[in-house]
Amino acid sequence: MDLLTQPIGVAHYMVVGAIMFTCGVVCMAVKRNALGVLMGIELVLNGANINFVALGSDFLHTTGSSSLGRDGSLFALFVIVLAAAEAAVALAIVLNFYNNHATVDVDRADELKG
């Protein structure tokens, strides 16, 4: 069963979502720049969103093998709203840290301990 020769279905979206999730985890683990870590978090959330929408799509409703329905799209919308709020708060923290330390290197964040 080769994914490249079949028409686009849920498995293709799941593979793309898994690749985005993995790239986000690697980005969060490797980057020392706070903005790079934030981009990794966004990749993880978007990879999860692709999987939510794929599992809630009409592809699975034609076979009757899913009970997720339109809830996948609602979960994805909720995650998008949370990601926007997270990005706003995190960017405010990063800008404040940059104003105090002239860098956004996450290794220097240990100075924030009380």
For residue 17, the domain's CATH number is: 1.10.287.3510
Q: Please report which residue ranges of 1-114 form alpha helices under DSSP H.
A: 10-30, 34-55, 58-61, 71-101
Q: Is the pTM of this model over 0.95?
A: no
55-87 per-residue burial string, b: 16 or more CB within 10 A, e: under 16: bbbebbeeeeebebeeebeebbeebeeebeeee
Number of domains composing the chain:
1
Question: What pLDDT is attached to residue 111?
Answer: 65
Given this model, what pLDDT does residue 101 score? 82
Higher pLDDT: 113 or 78? It is 78
Q: Is residue 4 part of a domain?
A: no
Q: In terms of residue numbers, what domain contains 51? A: 10-102
Choose the weakest-confidence range: 44-48, 61-65, 72-76.
61-65
Average pLDDT score over the chain = 84
- Asked if the model's pLDDT at residue 17 lies above 70, the reply is yes
Residue 114 in domain: no
